[in-house]
Chain A
Amino acid sequence: MLPVIEARDLTKRYGAVLAVDRVCFSIDPGRIVGLIGPNGAGKTSILRAILGLTRYEGDVRVLGREPWRERAALMLEASFIPDASVLPGWLRIDRAVDFVAAVHPRFRRDRTRAMLAKTRIPLHRRVRELSKGMQAQVHLALAMGVDAKLLVLDEPTLGLDLLARRAFYDALVEDFMDESRTIVLTTHQVEEVENLLTDVLFVDRGRIVLDGSIESLSTRFVAVSVEPAHLAEARAIGPFYERRMLGKTVLYYEGADRVALSSLGELHAPDVADLFVATLSGATR
C-alpha cells in the first residue's frame, strides 16, 4: 500500500531559525494522525509544507505529488482547514459554495448543501456575520464537499466553545472518514481527539520525538501507580517520567517488564495526553 504522505529529511527554515529539522515520517491511507506538540514545535510548518503552501528542503511526496511544485494539482485531492476563521469576511455562504463548485472538479455541492442544511446557518449571510463556530462549520462543510483523499486540519477548533468543537469532530468522523481517506490534524486539545486518532506524531523543537499507532503505544508504554512504599523499587526499573497523584506516584516506562511492574502497583496504558506530557517534559529521560 502506497503511503499518502512520505517525508524524508523535511526541513523548514525561517531565516536563521530552524522550524523543522530533517523530519522523516510516512502516513498510510485510512489513518487519522494527530500531529501533537507544544507551541512553536513546527507542526504548522510541517502541515504547510506537505500542502505546498510553503517552501521546504528535503523530499516530500503527498498522494504521489511534490507539494511545492504541484500545489494546485494536489489540492484536487487534498483539503485543508487552517485554524478557524480564515474564510474571508465579505464572502456570502451561498456564493462560497457556488465558487468552490465552479473551480473544484471534485466538489459535490449536494454534500455541502446537506451538511449546511443540518445547521442553522443562513446561506445568504456573509461570513463576517456568523459566529466563529458557524464559520468553522461552513469551512468544514466546504472542505468535506470535496471528494478528497487527504484532509489536513490545523487547529480547526481554535477559539470554539465545547459544543461547537464536539459538533465539528462528530461531523468529521460521521461524514468524512472511511478507509480510503486520511486525516492529519494538529490540536492543543489532545483529550478531545484522543478517541479519534489511530496514530500520533509528537513534535518538539522541529523534530519528531515519538511516532506510532495508538495500539503500538499501548504495548510500548506502560504506567504504574505506586504506593510510597514501593517507590524506590519502582524507580530502579528506570521510568522516563513520573508524577504525583493523590498520594501515589505514577511512573511511566517504555518497553519495561510488565510482570515485574505489576507486583509494584496497578498497571494501565497511558493515554495520549499523559504520554505527550511525559515524553516532552521527560526530564529523567
Chain B
Amino acid sequence: MIRFLWLIRRELWEYRAAWILPSVTGGLLVLAASFGHVDVDVAGARPGPDALGGAVLFGFGVVFLFVMLAYSSWYLLDCLNADRRDRSILFWKALPIGDAQSVLAKLATGLIVVPLFYFAAADVTTLAIAFIVSLRARAWIGSAMWHPGQWLQLQALWLYLIATLAVWLLPVAGWLLLVSASVRRATVLWALLPPLAALWTERALLGTHWIGRLLASRFVSGYPVAAFHDLSGSLLGALGLPGTSRSATPPSVWTVLAPLRFVETPATWLGAAVGAVLIAAAIRVRARHADP
C-alpha cells in the first residue's frame, strides 16, 4: 500500500500540472470575484440570497469540475505514453514494480487523486470568494455563502461526484489508458478517431445510431440520471426560475444525491466491466512494450 502511494507520488512529480492547474484556476476565480461585477436578473425573477449564494458556490464548483475532467482525460491519455517517448520506461521497468501496479497507480491518480486536488482547490477558492463577496456585497449573499449547511452540502456533493464519476467514467479511463499504452504518438487522434469511425460506419452501413446513443449516454445524459434525483429540475428550482417547482426552502444536496439508484443502474456496472476489460488490455500492452 505504501508502495502504491509512492507510485502516485511519482505521478505528481511528473505531472506537476495536476496540482498547479487547480491552484491557478482558483487564483483566477478569486481575481474575478475581487474585481468582477455580475448583475443577477434572471428572467425577471429575483432569486433569494440563500439560493443565489448556493448557486454561486455551485457555479464555481462547475468550473473546477470541467477543468478537472479535461485535465484528467489528458493525463490518462499521456501517462503511459510519456515514458515511452522519453524511453524512461526502461528505467521504470528495471524496478521491481509489476505492470498492473503501475497502470493501476496511474488510473487511481487520474480518477481519484487529481479530482481530490480540484476538490481542495475549489474549497479554498470558495472560502476566499465567500469572504470577498461578503465584503463587497455587504453580507447580502455573503451570509448565505458562509452558511455551514451549504458548506457541508458542497463537500458531500464533491465527494459524491468524485466517487461516482470514478466508477461511471471507468470505461473512458480504460480506453484512454489503452490508447496511451498502445500508440507511439498522436494519442489524441487515436483516442477520438476509432469511436467516431465506428459511429459513422454504423450510421452508413446499418443506418442505426446505437454507438452514438451509447456514447451520448455515457458522456452526457446517462450520468445525471443515474446518480441524481431530478438534477436539472432542482438546479433551476434553486435559482427560482419561473415554471419550475420552487419550494420555500432551497433544495438541499441531500435530496438530490441518489447513491442507491446509481448502484442499481445496470449501465454503471456494465460500464465498469467494459472499463475493467480495457484496463486489463492496457496492462497487457504495457507489459509487451519495453521498446520505446
Contacts and interface: CB of A to CB of B under 8 A. Distances in A.
Contacts of B291: 48, 54
A100 interface: yes
B91 interface: yes
A86 interface: yes
B94 A51 contact: yes
A103 B91 contact: no
Given A54-B290, A88-B86, A92-B13, A103 B7 contact: yes
Contacts of B97: 72, 75, 103
Given A102-B2, A102-B6, A90 B91 contact: no
B44 interface: no
B4 to A, nearest CB: 10
A103 B6 contact: yes
B93 interface: yes
Contact of B95 (A75, A95, A139): A75
B98 interface: yes
Contacts of B6: 99, 102-103
A82 B287 CA distance: 17
Interface in A52-97: 53-55, 71-76, 79-82, 85-92, 95
Interface string B127-143: 00000000000000000
Given A53-B290, A102-B2, A103-B3, A88 B93 contact: no
A104 interface: yes
Contacts of B9: 99
Nearest to B94: A80
Contacts of A95: 13
B202 interface: no
Contacts of A71: 93, 98-99, 287
B290 A86 contact: no
Contacts of A103: 3, 6-7, 95-97
B182 to A, nearest CB: 16
A88 B88 contact: yes
Interface string A119-150: 00000000000000000000100010000000
Interface residues of B, number: 27
A274 to B, nearest CB: 32
B86 A89 contact: yes
B90 A72 contact: no
B87 A72 contact: no
Contacts of B91: 82, 86-88, 139
A104 B95 contact: yes
B88 A100 contact: no
B13 A80 contact: no
Contact of B90 (A73, A86, A99): A86
B62 to A, nearest CB: 32
A100 B90 contact: no
Nearest to A76: B96
Contacts of B10: 99
A74 B99 CA distance: 13
A107 to B, nearest CB: 9
B87 to A, nearest CB: 5
A86 B90 CA distance: 7
Contact of A91 (B2, B7, B13, B288): B13
B137 to A, nearest CB: 44
Contacts of A54: 288, 290-291
B106 to A, nearest CB: 14
B161 to A, nearest CB: 30
B88 A86 contact: yes
B220 to A, nearest CB: 36
A73 B2 contact: no
B95 to A, nearest CB: 6
Contacts of A80: 90, 94
Contacts of A87: 88, 91
Given A48-B290, A54-B291, A103-B6, A79 B86 contact: no
Interface string A99-122: 110111100000000000000000
B14 interface: yes
Given A48-B290, A103-B7, A79 B96 contact: no
Given A102-B6, A103-B3, A139-B91, A72 B96 contact: yes
Nearest to A54: B290
Nearest to B16: A90
A82 B97 CA distance: 17
Contacts of A102: 2-3, 6
9 contacts: A48-B290, A80-B90, A80-B94, A86-B91, A89-B86, A90-B13, A90-B14, A102-B3, A103-B6
Interface of B: 2-3, 6-7, 9-10, 13-14, 83, 86-91, 93-99, 101, 287-288, 290-291
Given A51-B94, A88-B14, A89-B86, 17 more contacts: A53-B90, A54-B288, A54-B291, A71-B93, A71-B287, A72-B97, A82-B87, A86-B86, A86-B88, A86-B89, A86-B91, A88-B83, A88-B86, A91-B13, A99-B9, A102-B3, A105-B96
Please give me the 5 A-B residue pairs with the lowest Cβ-Cβ distance, nearest first. Answer: A53-B290, A88-B88, A80-B94, A75-B96, A72-B98
